[in-house]
Structure 1
C-alpha cells in the first residue's frame, strides 16, 4: 500500500505551539520530546478498541520510552472533539471521522489502522424481532447508537438508506454501550441498535436480543457495506504528526507490536492481559466476545486496499456534508510509520 508524506502545516503548528492550557483546553505540544501523550479512546472497555489498553498492559508503550495516558469517552464523536480542541494528542476511534472532519476544514489522519472491518453489530430486541427482520424494517423505529454523530450513527443511517429507508424515517437514540444499551433494549427505549463486543455477547447471553447484521468479519462487512470498512485506528491531527514524527513512529511501533501479539495468542490469553473489570459477564464470556471480534483486526496496522473508498461511499450515501464534497482520501491516512516498523 502506498505511503505518503505531507508538508507541515506551518500556521497550524505555530498556533499549537503558542496555544496555552487555559486558551485551548490542553497542551497540544505535549508528547513531543518525551512528554506525556494523551490518547482518548472511544470506550476503553470495547473489544474493538482493545489494542489501546492491551498495548499499555503489555508494556509496549514503555518499551518505546513513551509516557502514554489512556482516557476514555463512550462515543467516538466526543473523543474527536477532544482531539480538535487540543486536549489530547491522539484518538483511538473510527477512521471515518477523518473524512467527515476534512470537509469541515480539519486535517486529521489515521497513522495506525487497527482494523479492516467495523466490528459493529446491529441487534434487535426480542420484543421487536418479529417486526424488524432486516434494515428494510427500520422505518418508524427508535435505533440505538453510542452518540449522535458517532460512527454507529453513520453506519445505522447507511444501513437504512441502503435498504430503502430515508434517514428522516428513523430515530437515532444515544444510549452509549454496555449496560445502558442493554437496559434501553429491555425497556423498549429502542427497538434495535448498533453496538460492539462485549455488549453483543452479553445481550445474547442474557437472551434480550438477536443479531440482525454482523459486521465483525470481513465477510460480514462485504455483505453489509460492499467492501472492507476500516474502523478502529489511531488518528491524530496532521500538523501534530508532521511536527512529532519520532514520537508517532514509536506509537506505531508499539501498536503494531500489539497487533502481532494478538495474532499469535488465543482469546483466553488476550483476556488474561486485560483489566479484570472489563469481563463484567465473566472471564469465559469475555473471551468469547474477543473471539467473535478478532477477525476485524489487522496484523500490520496498514490501511486495507479499497478501504477508504468504501468508507467514502458509505458516508456519501446519507451525509449531506459529504455528498457533493471533494474528499482527498490520501490526506485521511498515512502508512509512512507502520511501513517502517521492524
Structure 2
C-alpha cells in the first residue's frame, strides 16, 4: 500500500474511533438532551416514572426530562400533536383514536408503564358487605366518555350485569381534574378514583374503597409512553435512552418494597401523608398494576380492543404492529441489566 493510502486509512480509522469515543462519553459530558414529557395525571399509579426521575435514570441515559401534568387524555394528546410535548404518558386508546382519524403522522406506542386500570370504586357510605347490585339505582360520578377509566369501568359494570346507561344515574359532565373535589362536595354516591386520592378520602372519612376496577377489568396496556412517528424517526437514540430509563425504574420498583418506593417518590406528592402514599403503592403492587417491563403484550392489546369495542369507540380493528413499536422495549431489555 502506498504511503498516502496508509495515511488516509489511518485518518479514517482515527476519525471513526474519535466518533465512537465522543458518543460513548456523551452521557458523561454534562450535555443532556431535553425531552418534554407530558403525563395525563399526577398519581401514585405512575410510581415507576417518578422513580426514574428521583434516581436520575434519565440523566444516566443523557436526558433532561421536563415533566408537566396535562390533565386528561384529550388534553395530553392535543399537547403531543401540537408539539407542546415530545413524549406523552397517556392511555393507549388515545393513539387508536388518532389512528382511526387517518393521521399522516401516526402516534406510536413505545413503552408500557401500567397494565391494569388504576381506579378504585368508592362508596360515600361504608358498606361492610358490598355487592355490585348496590350500584343499581345509585348516582355514579363517572369519568370522561371515551377515556380508559370510564370504558374499563363500564366493562366491569356490564360484567356484573349492570347497564351503566339504564341502571345508574351516570354523571359525566365533570372535568377529569375536578372529579375528586366534586365527590368531596357531595356529588354522587359512588365514584372512580385513582390513588392516592382514594386513600386520602378513606383517611378523611369522605369515602370508602369497595372494589378495584384494575382487578375486575383485567390486564390492559393502560398507560403508555407514545410519540409521533416524525419525532421517533428524528430522535431514535433519545427514545431508546428514555425507554432504558423507564425499564431501570420498573426493575427497581419490582425489587423494592412499597415503603421504599413511597419514600423515594414523596417529592412528587409533597402534600400527601407518606403512609397514604405507601398504602397506595402497596395496592398497586399487590394487584400487578405496574408493568415489569416496557413491552406491550399482544393479549393485553386485544383485550384493550375488546373494551373499546364494547364501549362503541372502536371503528376498526387496529393491529398491534400498526401503532406499537416494540424495538425500543426489546433493546432496553437486552441492554439494561
- The TM-score with structure 1 as length reference comes to 0.77
Which of 193, 196, 217 does residue 195 from structure 1 map onto? 193
The residue that corresponds to 1:330 in the other structure is: 321
The residue that corresponds to 2:310 in the other structure is: 317
Q: Separation in 1 of the partners of 2:136 and 2:296?
A: 32
Q: Separation in 2 of the partners of 1:59 and 1:96?
A: 30
The residue that corresponds to 2:34 in the other structure is: 36
Cα 1:138/1:151, change in 2 over 3 Å: farther
Q: Separation in 2 of the partners of 1:286 and 1:336?
A: 33
The residue that corresponds to 1:87 in the other structure is: 84
Q: Separation in 1 of the partners of 2:71 and 2:133?
A: 25
Instruction: Say if 1:125 and 1:208, in contact at 8 Å, map to a contact too.
Output: yes
Q: Separation in 1 of the partners of 2:196 and 2:316?
A: 36
Instruction: Say if 1:161 and 1:167, in contact at 8 Å, map to a contact too.
Output: no
Larger deviation: 185-194 or 287-296? 185-194
Secondary structure of the 1:194 match is strand
Residue 215 (structure 1) shift: 3.3
Bigger Rg, structure 1 or 2: 2
Secondary structure of the 1:99 match is helix
Secondary structure of the 1:296 match is coil
Cα 1:277/1:252, change in 2 over 3 Å: closer
Secondary structure of the 1:126 match is coil
**Is 1:248 aligned to 2:248, yes or no?**
no
Q: Separation in 1 of the partners of 2:225 and 2:238?
A: 13
Residue 109 (structure 1) shift: 2.2
Instruction: Say if 1:38 and 1:69, in contact at 8 Å, map to a contact too.
Output: yes
Cα 1:171/1:262, change in 2 over 3 Å: same
Secondary structure of the 1:122 match is strand
Instruction: Say if 2:141 and 2:179, in contact at 8 Å, map to a contact too.
Output: no
Unaligned 5+ residue runs, structure 2? 1-30
- The TM-score with structure 2 as length reference comes to 0.78
Q: Separation in 1 of the partners of 2:75 and 2:311?
A: 21
Larger deviation: 96-105 or 261-270? 96-105
The residue that corresponds to 1:123 in the other structure is: 122
The residue that corresponds to 1:75 in the other structure is: 72
Secondary structure of the 1:117 match is coil
Cα 1:84/1:258, change in 2 over 3 Å: same
The residue that corresponds to 1:134 in the other structure is: 132
RMSD: 2.7
Secondary structure of the 1:38 match is strand
The residue that corresponds to 1:170 in the other structure is: 170
Instruction: Say if 2:45 and 2:284, in contact at 8 Å, map to a contact too.
Output: yes
**Is 1:298 aligned to 2:295, yes or no?**
no
Q: Separation in 1 of the partners of 2:162 and 2:134?
A: 6
Larger deviation: 186-195 or 133-142? 133-142
Q: Separation in 2 of the partners of 1:53 and 1:277?
A: 7
**Is 1:63 aligned to 2:60, yes or no?**
yes
The residue that corresponds to 2:203 in the other structure is: 205
Cα 1:212/1:275, change in 2 over 3 Å: closer
